[in-house]
Amino acid sequence: MIDLLVPTTAQGLLWAVMALGVYITYRVLDVADLTVEGSFPLGAAVAASMLAAGFGPIPSFIGAAVAGMLAGVVTAILHTKMKIPALLAGILTMIALYSVNLRVMGKANLSLLGTDTTFTIIRNMFGLNSAHTTLVVGVLATVLVAVFMYWFFGTEIGAAIRATGFNQQMIRAQGVNTDVTIMLGLLISNALVAISGALVAQSNGFADVGMGTGTIVIGLASVIIGEVLFGTRSFKNCIISVILGSVVYRIVIAAVLQMGMPPNDLKLFTSILVA
């Protein structure tokens, strides 16, 4: 059981970064953002391409985050300036990003075998096995992102973003430009999703153009499971709940696979779970 728990928890933590990005749009901004399905593989594609080209892990994460930010900004412009509904704006960006991801990688699948990644560097540095390496990277990533989110959304601009999701008319009456706050929210959300994509790609050893399929449902599952099981008493509690929700979701998936569920039915199971 422990042999299953460690790698499952580690994977849950890598995906928790994506779930936190989904939480920003879904709960903080109150926007259903489907850009996630394109920005997740975008982060993976950019990071994998940069690593394969000889850039180190840190530049590849920065590149993935910037790419995710640009994807979020495109959706925000479509929504705020062109008055396209948020759901449709996200779908348009997601579809466009499929072609962008193919352009970035040059092919549908890019292998990272034999390439130095964050995981191989930490594994060699500390002499850990694969599961423990993923766990260490996952803990570091989620702690850094959680601390950043808690600090940022406690600032004046962060509070304005939260207020925009709660009541746009009220915050607009206070003199805040809601177009800017929506853009910032989508920018940060998709940057986190892209970073998660970069982490998952390095963990798996490859980036694939189709790896974003179902990402939004996985993110929503993590958010909803976390809120139901661990509560939403404060913003800090919400952040912790989403992280734990992602881990619990992965454990549930691992458990049903152990019980004999065909892997092909996982997407169906996830949809039913969220519903």
Q: What is the DSSP letter of 110?
A: E
Q: Which candidate, 107, 8, 108, 105, places its Cα nearest to that of 51?
A: 105
Is the model's pLDDT at 139 over the cut of 80?
Answer: yes
Residue 30: Cβ within 10 Å count: 14
Distance from C-alpha of 168 to C-alpha of 162, rounded to nearest angstrom:
10
> Per-residue pLDDT tens for 21-31?
999 999 999 98
Is the model's pLDDT at 132 over the cut of 80?
Answer: yes
> Per-residue pLDDT tens for 218-230?
999 999 999 999 9
Amino acid at 176: V
Residue 261: Cβ within 10 Å count: 14
Residue 179: Cβ within 10 Å count: 15
Is the model's pLDDT at 271 over the cut of 90?
Answer: no
Confidence label for 136 from pLDDT (cuts 50, 70 and 90): very high
Residue 3: Cβ within 10 Å count: 8
Mean pLDDT for the chain overall? 93
Is the model's pLDDT at 1 over the cut of 70?
Answer: no
pLDDT at 31: 87
Q: Which candidate, 228, 226, 199, places its Cα nearest to that of 20?
A: 226
- Mean pLDDT score, 34-39: 96
Is the model's pLDDT at 257 over the cut of 80?
Answer: yes
Residue 49: Cβ within 10 Å count: 19
Q: What is the DSSP letter of 128?
A: -
